[in-house]
């Protein structure tokens, strides 16, 4: 396949041989992962040899690393193009020499959307986690499940559409109208949720993290109005947990159905107990809840990192499908950066 990248030249050699060149976490991430396996997953589905104007396409691995770079630094597509043009560690990470052409913002956008259509983001996420687990960086013995609300990319604005029905109407009859169709934006998958006294419009990310270091194990995106309690089974299945693994969660997941589900999967139930009308918690249940609270903060910590450092307070894109794409990109970026800190900490 013809590619646009060029072999390293004298300028690349001079840059790489600088004595005081600073090693970034990007260089560390390159060491952590076998990228040939990542490229193999993409190329099974992505077989594009030429771009939209007929020029040779960029290698799929270069483009995927570009998406990771964009996610780590919370960049728009034009800003990502600028980074690749002006920042040497960025071009070195994605695999472009100083003499190579750089993908423009429209190429980055098209590649991201094409991977979504091909349905490979979850496979890439699972492969990265598999490699981290294989190298004993990710220890998958237990999980903590939680959900968080992400705002829609669109601001809600109520629109009420009514349709008059005039067929077969007599002169003295009033026109009938159908039930009004109420929409709030063109982000039709986004829903309303009232939490406390605050109304929020957007989505929920349901996810699980490991109970040791807070690596994201799996998850998915729904409308904000979907109950947390009904999503734990799907999250557990997405996380690839083995038998005898523990699953912890807060009181919002407390139900006999969920406990029975974990029992059927031969997993240890660590769902916090919830008092009900007419029955207060026993002393033993309160101690159990305190023990779970002692490590459940790790999922809240991971959620905080996604929102503060990866710009995941609000969706970039519209709809659950693209929201899930964004979640997987951010989960891969977070896990890789966390792994580099664990492996290369001084």
Short-list 74, 7, 95, 93, CA closest to 330: 74
Q: Which two three-digit tokens encode residue 121?
A: 């983001």
Q: What does the block give as tokens for 180?
A: 């009004």
Give the 3-state secondary structure of residue 188.
coil
What pLDDT does residue 95 have?
92
| CATH superfamily ID and name for 125-344 | Ribonuclease H-like superfamily/Ribonuclease H (3.30.420.10)
Confidence at residue 277, expressed as pLDDT on a 0 to 100 scale: 83
Q: What is the pLDDT of residue 177?
A: 47
Residue 262 or residue 178, greater confidence: 262
pLDDT tens for residues 60-76?
999 999 999 999 999 99
> How far from the centroid of its chain's Cα atoms is residue 16's Cα?
33
pLDDT (0 to 100) of residue 214: 95
Question: Given pLDDT bands bounded at 50, 70 and 90, which one contains residue 198?
Answer: confident
Going by C-alpha positions, the residue among 78, 148, 107, 60 that lies closest to residue 331 is 148
User: What pLDDT does residue 81 have?
Assistant: 94
Q: H/E element holding 195?
A: strand 191-195
pLDDT above 80: residue 5: no
The encoded tokens of residue 226 equal 């979907």
Torsion of CA 289, 290, 294, 297, to 10 degrees: 60
pLDDT at 8 > cutoff 70 = no
DSSP 47: -
The domain segmentation of the chain, as residue ranges, is: 10-119, 125-344
pLDDT digits (tens, 9 = 90+) for 248-261: 999 999 999 999 99
Q: Do residues 338 and 213 touch, judged by C-beta distance below 8 A?
A: yes
pLDDT digit string (tens) for 117-175? 999 999 999 999 999 999 999 989 999 999 999 999 888 776 544 444 444 445 555 54
CA distance 30 to 32: 6
The mean per-residue pLDDT over the stretch 12-30 comes to 68
Determine how many CB atoms are found less than 10 A away from the CB of residue 273.
15
Closest CA to 127 of 304, 285, 332, 282: 332
Q: What pLDDT score does 54 carry? A: 56
What is the pLDDT averaged over residues 220-232?
A: 94
3-state class (DSSP) for residue 34:
coil
Q: How many CA atoms lie within 13 A of 174 on its CB side?
A: 2
């Amino acid at each position: 396949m013809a590619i646009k990248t060029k072999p390293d030249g004298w300028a690349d050699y001079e840059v790489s041989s600088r004595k005081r060149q600073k090693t970034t976490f990007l260089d560390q991430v390159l060491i952590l992962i076998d990228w040939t396996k990542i490229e193999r997953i993409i190329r099974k589905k992505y077989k594009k040899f030429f771009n939209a104007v007929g020029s040779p396409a960029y290698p799929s691995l270069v483009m995927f690393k570009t998406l990771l770079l964009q996610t780590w630094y919370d960049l728009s597509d034009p800003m990502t193009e600028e980074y690749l043009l002006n920042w040497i560690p960025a071009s070195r990470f994605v695999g472009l020499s100083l003499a190579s052409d750089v993908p423009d913002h429209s190429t980055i956008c098209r590649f991201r959307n094409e991977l979504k259509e091909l349905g490979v983001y979850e496979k890439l996420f699972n492969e990265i986690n598999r490699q981290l687990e294989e190298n004993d960086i990710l220890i998958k013995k237990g999980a903590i499940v939680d959900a968080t609300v992400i705002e829609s990319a669109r601001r809600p604005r109520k629109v009420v559409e009514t349709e008059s029905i005039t067929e077969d109407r007599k002169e003295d009859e009033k026109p009938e109208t159908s039930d009004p169709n109420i929409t709030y934006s063109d982000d039709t998958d986004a829903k309303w949720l009232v939490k406390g006294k605050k109304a929020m419009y957007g989505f929920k990310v349901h996810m699980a993290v490991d109970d040791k270091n807070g690596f994201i194990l799996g998850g998915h995106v729904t409308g904000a109005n979907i109950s947390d309690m009904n999503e734990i089974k799907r999250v557990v299945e997405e996380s690839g947990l083995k038998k005898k693994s523990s699953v912890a969660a807060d009181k919002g997941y407390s139900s006999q159905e969920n406990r029975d589900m974990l029992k059927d999967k031969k997993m240890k139930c660590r769902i916090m107990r919830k008092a009900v009308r007419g029955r207060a918690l026993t002393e033993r249940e309160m101690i159990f809840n305190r023990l779970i609270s002692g490590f459940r903060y790790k999922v809240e910590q991971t959620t905080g990192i996604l929102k503060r450092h990866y710009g995941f307070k609000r969706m970039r894109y519209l709809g659950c499908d693209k929201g899930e794409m964004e979640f997987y990109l951010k989960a891969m970026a977070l896990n890789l950066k966390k792994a580099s800190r664990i492996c290369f900490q001084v």
